[in-house]
Amino acid sequence: MRSKTIKEGIERLPHRALLYATGIPKSEMGKPFIGVATSFTDLIPGHIGMRDLERFIEKGVHTGGGYPFFFGIPGVCDGIAMGHSGMHYSLASRELIADMVETVAEAHQLDGLVLLTNCDKITPGMLMAAGRLNIPSIVVTAGPMFSGHYKGRRLNLTSDTFEAVGKFKKGLIKKEELDVLEMCACPGAGSCQGMYTANTMACVTEALGMSLEGCATALAVSSKKRRIAFQSGSRVVELVKKNITPRKIMNRKAFENAIMVDLALGGSTNTVLHIPAIANDAGIKLPLEIFDRLARTTPHIANMLPGGPNYMEDLDYAGGIPAMLKRLKPKLKDNITVSGKSIAQIADEAEILNDDVIRPIGKAHHKEGGIAILKGNLACRGAVVKQSAVSKETMRFEGTAIVFNSEEDALKAILAGKVKPGNVVVIRYEGPKGGPGMREMLAPTAAIAGMGLSESVALVTDGRFSGGTRGPCIGHISPEAMEGGTLAIVKNKDIIRIDIPGRKLNVALTDREINKRLQTWKKPAPKIQKGYLARYARLVSSADEGAIMK
């Protein structure tokens, strides 16, 4: 056990004295020391229920023969941080989370980890730490929120709050309904109800093999989730005893399996940042092109919010990720998981309980998976679109650019009615370096949808999107404007052509004209020049590399 470093030998008498000061009995000193990294906070709906899960994890660790030590990890609620300066910190917090888990685990020589997480950047940050540390680890995602209800219809965060703002501005709903929606859309604990980033990452985690089967979709505050928390606490002790480490699970096969499950679910485009970042810390390089290669042969079989009608509760009741594995089994590569079962065994034991929610391969919603990678003179290193949330009519789109140098300016123009059908909204200087922090653009995209423009207006940005975004919205443009990418020299009324089936993204300019404009372009001063974000901007890589810190 690693913990012998701090608890055995005469020279470790002071260390033991400090450990005994925590209250640990002598009888427990020889057991594996299990760190429980908990991201509980009162600030995030997805995390407010974690105090309950902490109790069950603790019971499980004791039952399994370990001794648990809890330590705190911070989190950002992307929904609350959306649309203002707070969103600069969201993606950047992923690196802090990974660093903090690494720091505590190494400083105290913990034998194993239970990673209690749920929301957007916290889950990938913890998985990055697991890959980096490579000590036995298991992830417990705290679960999705139940749907809201109003006048007989189900509600969810994106269409019933963010998009409702645009509907109200357009006069489509009254103030009274708006007031009701803000009270009813999010009824309690849990991550937001659709296949947004938090839930996508929970599904990716289970498909990777890093959480127990059923964990991703088991609803927050459910007894099922409590049992999974208990079993995870018990299981991590077994992982320590058998020395089953994250890199033995998170290999190339596991990442490809997870990407295929993500594509079949129509998951958030943020996975194109997070999965390569996790793989990087696990010692594996995943090029951007792998998403597109797998998307060509992985059908979209679960039509989840925001592009489809199904909520996370529907996916859970249909059999969850084990049922998805069963559908996709012929395409997957067998691999071990933290449960002790292989991917093939989990798939074989699973039951598909609803063929409408998890469709047979032959009745897929789309022949291709949910994410596509576009390239062209506007994104020579790539850009990302959630094609499963784009209508057939807008899979190819040509329009005139209307250019903004910040999300705030774009949102004001959209809500003021300055964006017209046939426009391509360009939002630049919002990439990893330019933002800094690569803010999500849910407020502008939801406003476009709410105002009834999602079929007639496109959006391109070097920023990124919430999993709640739908329509022809292209993000992650690389190289970003701050790096002198073509996006930096686009002007109002330039023609932009989007061809998702052809995987093309171009501005109708000759190479000569692009080079001429770039010669006169001047790099703007950083938006933020002090503190963590200034350091982050100097060290962060491009979006096509996962926006990792170097």
Catalytic residue numbers? 466
Between CA 167 and CA 516 the distance in angstroms is 42
Contacts 24+ apart (CB under 8 A), 330-334: 331/260, 331/297, 331/298, 332/257, 332/260, 333/253, 333/256, 333/257, 334/253
Sign of the dihedral through C-alpha 351, 353, 355, 358 = negative
SS (H, E, C) 415-472: HCCCCCCCEEEEECCCCCCCCCCCCECHHHHHHHHHCCCCCCCEEEECCECCCCCCCC
Name, in order, each residue with C-beta under 8 angstroms of 223's C-beta and a sequence gap of 6 or more.
none
Q: Give DSSP secondary structure letters for 101-154.
A: HHHHHHHTT-SEEEEEE-STTHHHHHHHHHHHH-S-EEEEE--BPPPEEETTEE
Sign of the dihedral through C-alpha 197, 177, 314, 452 = negative
Between CA 458 and CA 540 the distance in angstroms is 28
Residues for the chain: how many in total? 550
Q: Which of 243, 138, 525, 195 is nearest to 389 (CA)?
A: 195
Contact 369, 260 (CB under 8 A): yes
Name, in order, each residue with C-beta under 8 angstroms of 414's C-beta and a sequence gap of 6 or more.
166, 425, 444, 447, 448, 451
Give the DSSP letter of residue 337. -
Between CA 331 and CA 89 the distance in angstroms is 37
Between CA 473 and CA 450 the distance in angstroms is 15
